[in-house]
Every structure is written in structure tokens, then in C-alpha cells.
Amino acid sequence: MVNKISGYKGLILLCLMSLLLNYLILYPLGLGQYDGPEHPYLFGIINLAAGLLELGLITLYLRRVERMPVRLVGLGWNRKHLIYSVTAVVMTLVLHLVYLKSLDEGGVLKAYFNVHYFENAQLVPMLLCTGAGWFVNAFYEELLRGYFAIKLKSLGPLPMFLITGLTAILMHAINGLDWIYAILIFIMNSTFLYVYLKSGSIYPAVAAHFIYNFTLGHLFGSGAVAFLIVEGELPLWYTLTPIALYVILILVTAKLIYGDASITHCLGNLGRGDVGSAHAQSSRRSKVM
């Protein structure tokens, strides 16, 4: 049984602590200026340090305040999670590569391969550094999202998606956002939450979240580790199209791999330890019936 502290005050407290920690790292120290693709080492180090601190904060909160084993959030791993994670990585890379190259052929922007990519002696450490920063950030965000799902599951799917989406918007407001960016954050939050609920584990959502950020943040663009150089600004419609395609692919793949169980049914397995196994057993029983 998951221990509750004063209703949902724990959610608010954890969010406030996370926001404060992010703010203290990025702004008083002036590190926010390095949060971009132009400084791969600094980006990786800053985001890795911030992500590990956030991860430590969440873990400590769960263990000491909630008295809740971290594994209950969903740290199960099985073959389906591996298949989904690999599929999400490949689909994300191929989707954006094909889309950007098609825009290049249409004259909307310039997108070309960096022919000197593997000549850079610093390539591997820069990739590892930036990749680690993105991965740890995706991991702590999905762990936090999983905790929210467990705390809010008694409210039902719709309130859960609404509250976690609005919370995600507030958590990103520290970086500044407009209404379009806010809507996109809500959609992405709902997408990753759906993957988490269907799989019962944070790892598939972490993989989808990580590769999306890593692809658009560093692998494709104008940074030092970009193997596809992109030049030019995209009109809004051209920006929204790959996001819509990505969301559809991620959701459909989750449904294909994890089965047709409803979200309401999936909620019942949250906070029960090896939820990945519970989902698998439930799926097999459904097929037998």
C-alpha cells in the first residue's frame, strides 16, 4: 500500500523543491547560458549534475517522506520494454531524418549531412556527455511523472492527464514559454504518460523522451555533435507536423506492443512492484478469454 501524506500536498511540495533546485542551478550561477547545442561539454555536465540532483531529490523524497520503495513507481524491465525502446529510438531518428531531408528537397530549409562528422576527435566524448545529460533528465522527469500517476490514479484517467499536463507546463515555465509551447508540453506529457501506463515501467517512456530531446537538441541542428546540419527557420505548420507524426507513432507502437488493455485497467496495476509483469499476465489472460 502506497503511503499518502496529507492528501496531495506531497505533489505540490515535491514540485516546488524541484523548481527551486532547477532555478538555483541555472540562474544565480549563470549556467543557463550554456544550456544549448553550442557548448556540448558544458551542456552535458550541467544537465547531468542537475539531473542527478533532481533524481536524488525525488528518490530521497520517496524513501524518507512517502516511505515508498522507488521500484513501485515502475522499474520493471522485460523484453517488451526493450523492443519498445529500440523501436522508439529508430522511429524517432528515421522520422525526423526523412522529414528534414524532404523539406531540404522542397527548398523550405537546408538539411545536409556533416561529411566531416567522424573526423572530429572529440566526437565520442561530446556525444557521451550530451547524451548522458539528456538521459538523466528524461529519467528523473519520467520517475516524477510515474509518482504523480500513482498519487493521482484514484481520480481516474482524465483528471490524471489534466493535472500532470498542467504541472509539466508549470515545471517548464522557468525557461519561459508561450501558449503554443505550453500546448506542446501538455501533448508530450500526455504521450509519455500513456506509454508509462501501458507498459507499467518508466523505461519505455524514458527511451522515447530521451531520444526525442537528444535528436532535436543535438543530433539534428547546428551544434557541434549534429550529424545532420539544419539551416533556416521553419514556419509553425512545418514545425508541428513532425511532432504530430511522432506522437502518433509513439502511441500506436505502445498499443501494438503492450496490447489493448484500457488505461483505466492499467491504472489498477500502478504501485504494485513489478507492474511490467502484471501487465504481461493481464494481457495473456485477456487473450485467453
Encode pLDDT of 171-195 as tens digits.
Answer: 887 777 788 889 999 999 999 999 9
- Pick from 270, 15, 12: which is nearest to 141 by CA? 15
- Residue 71 makes CB contacts below 8 A (sequence gap 6+) with 273, 274
pLDDT above 90 covers what percent of the chain?
57
What is residue 220's three-state secondary structure? strand
Instruction: Tell me whether residue 57 is exposed, middle or buried, using C-beta atoms within 10 angstroms of its C-beta: 0 to 12, 13 to 18, 19 or more.
Output: middle
Question: Cell triple for residue 118?
Answer: 567522424
Model pLDDT, residue 283: 43
Contacts 24+ apart (CB under 8 A), 185-188: 187/243, 187/247, 188/212, 188/247
How confident is the model over 156-180, as a mean pLDDT?
88
Strand, coil or helix: 112:
strand
Mean pLDDT for the stretch of residues 220-229: 91
Q: Cell numbers 501538455 label which residue? A: 186
d(CA 23, CA 32): 9
Q: Which of 201, 171, 200, 183 is nearest to 247 (CA)?
A: 183
Least-confidence region, from 16-25, 92-101, 158-167: 16-25
SS3 of residue 223 by DSSP: coil
233 three-class SS: coil
Condensed to tens digits (0 to 9), the pLDDT of residues 96-144 reads 999 999 999 999 999 999 988 988 889 999 999 999 999 999 999 999 9
Q: Does residue 176 sit in helix, strand or coil?
A: coil
Q: Is 221 helix (H, G, I), strand (E, B) or coil?
A: strand
Cell numbers placing 96: 525526423
The CA distance from 204 to 272, in Å, is 18
- Indicate the SS3 state at residue 113: strand
- Work out the burial of residue 84: count CB atoms within 10 Å of its CB; fewer than 13 is exposed, 13-18 middle, 19 or more buried: buried
User: What are the DSSP E strand ranges found in the chain?
Assistant: 110-113, 220-221, 228-231
Using left for φ > 0, alpha for ψ between -120 and 50, and beta otherwise, residue 120 falls in beta
Taking the C-alpha atoms of residue 57 and residue 217, their distance in angstroms, rounded to an integer, is 25
Distances from the Cα of 103 to the Cα of 59, 96, 220, 226, angstroms: 43, 10, 14, 18
In angstroms, rounded to a whole number, what is the distance separating the alpha carbons of residues 207 and 110? 28
pLDDT, residue 36, reads: 75
pTM over 0.85: yes
Q: Which of 5-19, 37-51, 245-259 has the lowest mean pLDDT?
A: 5-19
- CA dihedral 175→226→141→173, nearest 10 degrees, is 10
pLDDT of residue 273: 55
